[in-house]
Amino acid sequence: MTQRAMIIDDSRAMRSILRRIITGLDFETAEAGHGQEALDLMEAGFAPDLCLIDWNMPVMDGYTFITEVRKRPEWRNVTLMMVTTESEQGQIVKALAAGAHEYVIKPFTPDAIVEKLELLGLSGKGIPA
């Protein structure tokens, strides 16, 4: 079964970069401009296997989004990967403690996203990478 990814970033340009990488891996994608919009899409039925999450966004930031997703048992299988310019060691530790599985620091090259998804055993097609 095709896997689904939600791209959560307030920048359209960044969503476009991530979308090109992720659709290249055969993921189906949805996009949200902030955490609340992503939660709304998930409530409405979009069930992602993977979320790519920016940290600094209006309305609801990525860190809060992760803590919200982790409160919900029905979303426990969603893989959460931060993709953000927040790059202090303390921030990475904080995001991992809140339930993020992986962390990519901006700027990144397309390979970085592909390789991180391999580490997570996600390949888009539902076959382990």
When asked if residue 74 is in the footprint of another protein (CB under 8 A), the reply is no
Q: Which of 92, 98, 99, 123 lies at the binding interface for another protein (CB under 8 A)?
A: 92
* Closer to another protein by Cβ: residue 11 or 47: 11
Q: What are the CA-CA distances from residue 79 to residues 12, 13, 64, 104 (Å)? A: 22, 23, 16, 14
113 Cβ neighbours under 8 A, 6+ residues apart: 18, 21, 22, 52, 83, 104
Smallest distance, Å, CB 11 to another protein? 4
Determine, following the binding rule CB under 8 A, whether residue 98 of this chain makes contact with another protein.
no
Question: Contacts with another protein: how many residues (CB under 8 A)?
Answer: 39
Give strand ranges (E) for the chain. 4-8, 28-32, 50-53, 79-84, 102-105
Q: Which of 116, 114, 121 is nearest to 103 (CA)?
A: 116
Among 30, 41, 98, 104, binds another protein (CB under 8 A): 104
**33 or 48, CB closer to another protein?**
33
Could you give phi then psi for residue 34, rounded to 5 degrees? -165, 170
Taking the complex as a whole, how short is the minimal distance between the CB of residue 31 and another protein, in angstroms? 13
C-alpha span between 107 and 87 (Å, rounded): 10
Residues engaged in binding another protein (CB under 8 A): 10-14, 16-17, 20, 56-58, 84-90, 92-93, 95-96, 100-109, 111-112, 115-116, 118-119, 129
